[in-house]
């Protein structure tokens, strides 16, 4: 599973990415998560991602990010603010599975 995590690049992004990875490990799943800024989305979506998750603090850029993901038929969603925390792993994992159809 490859997850593209679009964020502002702050420390909270690292915490959320690590929480998602740890939760996936609990479910026996090895995932690749790449955290990028909004400027790299257009190029990066071409690299075979299973889903794109967008951090809540950049919700104002969501439409542009989703349009880029749509060009490659990649499911894309805005992360719930409550999931964007060290304890958000279960919510992030559930959202990722929902985006990818449970695959």
Strand partners, 53: 5, 77
Digit-coded pLDDT (tens) for 27-80? 999 999 999 999 999 999 999 999 999 999 899 999 999 999 999 999 999 998
pLDDT at position 103: 60
Asked whether residue 101 carries a pLDDT value surpassing 80, the answer given is yes
Domain ranges of the chain: 2-96
Q: Select from 3.40.630.30, 1.10.1370.30, 3.40.50.2300, 3.40.50.970 the CATH code of 2-96.
A: 3.40.50.2300
Digit-coded pLDDT (tens) for 65-96? 999 999 999 999 999 888 877 788 999 999 99
pTM score, whole prediction: 0.92
- Residues 54-81 as b/e (b if ≥16 CB within 10 A, e otherwise) read bbbebeebbeebbebbeeeebbbbbbee
Strands 51-54 and 32-36: unpaired
Order of strands across the sheet with 51-54?
A: 32-36, 2-6, 51-54, 76-78
């Amino acid at each position: 599973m490859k997850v593209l995590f679009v964020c502002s690049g702050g420390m909270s992004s690292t915490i959320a990415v690590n929480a998602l990875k740890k939760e996936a490990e609990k479910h026996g799943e090895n995932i690749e998560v790449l955290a990028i800024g909004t400027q790299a989305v257009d190029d990066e979506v071409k690299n075979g991602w299973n889903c794109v998750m967008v951090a809540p603090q950049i919700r104002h850029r969501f439409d542009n990010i989703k349009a880029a993901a749509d060009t490659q038929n990649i499911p894309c969603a805005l992360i719930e603010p409550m999931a964007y925390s060290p304890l958000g792993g279960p919510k992030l994992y559930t959202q990722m599975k929902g985006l990818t159809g449970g695959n």
